[in-house]
Amino acid sequence: MAPVSEIERTELVNQLVATIGEGPAETLMNCVLPDRRGQIATKDDLKEALKAYATKDDLKALATKEDLKALGAELRTEMAKQARVFFVTMTGFMFTVWGMMTAQFFM
């Protein structure tokens, strides 16, 4: 369908005014292009909007199941190290407190 020329648009407005009156014709023409042409998305607008979405290359860069398994193993190892440090620290603290408490009986 070819775009409507301004001449055709003017003829349409004139026929609408003659048929339904000036007010309703103006309302109807405001609902039709070109006054709102800026609100219609163009191909370039769509291309710009699509840049915000992930591409196949982006999806390939995501972690695989093997990557997640390796990460899980690494996290478990680090948590075990942290738990050992905590246990040793708390044991040292407990022996220190216990030693101070029992020392009062031997003095």
- List the pLDDT tens digit at each of the 107 positions of the chain: 566 777 888 888 899 899 999 888 888 887 775 555 566 677 888 888 888 887 888 878 888 888 889 999 999 999 999 999 999 999 999 999 999 999 888 87
Together in a domain, 68 and 107: yes
pLDDT of residue 75: 96
Name the token pair of 8. 């055709």
Q: Answer whether 32's CB lies under 8 Å from 16's CB.
A: no
- Angle, helix 6-20 to helix 22-31, in steps of 10 degrees: 140
pLDDT of residue 89: 96
Single pTM value for the model: 0.38
**Domain of residue 89, residue span:** 64-107
Does residue 59 form part of some domain? no
**How many CB atoms lie under 10 A from the CB of residue 43?**
7
pLDDT of residue 36: 52
The total number of structural domains that make up the chain? 2
Together in a domain, 33 and 71: no
Residues 6+ apart with CB under 8 A from 9: 34
Does residue 19 form part of some domain? yes
pLDDT of residue 43: 83
Residues 6+ apart with CB under 8 A from 16: 24, 25, 28, 29
